[in-house]
Amino acid sequence: MNGSNERIEPQPVDVIAQFASNGIIRPIRIRVTDEDGQHQDFTIKSYKDLSHQGTRTMPDGVLVTDETYVYECGIEVFGQLKKIRLYFRTDSHGFDWKITI
């Protein structure tokens, strides 16, 4: 992840997630499109739920509120563990997942 305080624009991402009856959302897999337009699928190896901690600016510059679900995740890319952050929001128009790397 970005170590500085510069703002990173979150990008839309496809996510497979488990929605439990108790309200817990667990991200399982992501699909991103690489610079060649090819889809790349990654299994989430670990995650930490950073949701519902009030309105704040995340280290990557994304402003979140209590309505934003935030997950810091680990995925394996070419044998290396890479950290990503997933953001999930719902509103009257539907829902969307975004990613910062």
Separation CA 31–CA 22 (nearest Å): 26
Q: Is the pLDDT of residue 43 over 80?
A: yes
Q: Is the pLDDT of residue 4 over 90?
A: no
Q: Full-prediction pTM beyond 0.85?
A: yes
Q: Is the pLDDT of residue 6 over 80?
A: no
